[in-house]
A = this chain, B = another copy of it.
Amino acid sequence: MSTEPAPHDVLAYLLKHATLRLATLVDDALLPLGVDGKEFGVLRVLAHREPTSQLQVAQTLGVDRTTMVALLDGLERKGIVGRRPDPADRRRNVVQLTGQGERTFAEAQAVYQKAETDFLAGISPRAGEQLRRTLRTLLED
């Protein structure tokens, strides 16, 4: 046997695969609602804010504005979001959840919480909270 450490026991690997596993759980859980994890991200932004422009949503999520177009096209086709020109600046689109979108978001949030709980099932609630705090601190900078 080699004296080298196991290739999987390194923080970058552990973080990546924990991320992947939770993302898979969430995507699977959201499947019946007709949205995926990325779309759920858009819904969270729209539910949190007053109606905003596409660009603001894109910047909040850290994606390009051209990527946001396709994302919103899909959500609009499903009747989850609506777009209309901003009367105050007609270059902008005001984006907001539709009534159906609000319901989908509420269901998606419940489904997400369950997936997260399942993901954390192997550790104590205290350890789960500690994990969340630690990650927040690391991302604060």
Contacts and interface: CB of A to CB of B under 8 A. Distances in A.
B116 A138 contact: no
Contact of A2 (B10, B48, B123): B48
A43 to B, nearest CB: 9
Interface in A1-38: 2, 4-7, 9-19, 21-23, 26, 37
Interface string A43-61: 0110111100000000010
Copies in the assembly, this chain = 2
Contacts of A17: 139
Interface of A: 2, 4-7, 9-19, 21-23, 26, 37, 41, 44-45, 47-50, 60, 112, 116, 119-120, 122-123, 127, 130-132, 134-141
A49 B123 CA distance: 31
Nearest to A2: B48
B134 A131 contact: yes
Contacts of A44: 4-5, 7, 10
Given A12-B23, A140-B122, A135 B18 contact: yes
A139 B21 contact: yes
Contacts of A119: 11, 138
Given A13-B41, A19-B19, A47 B135 contact: no
Contacts of A9: 136
A13 B23 CA distance: 9
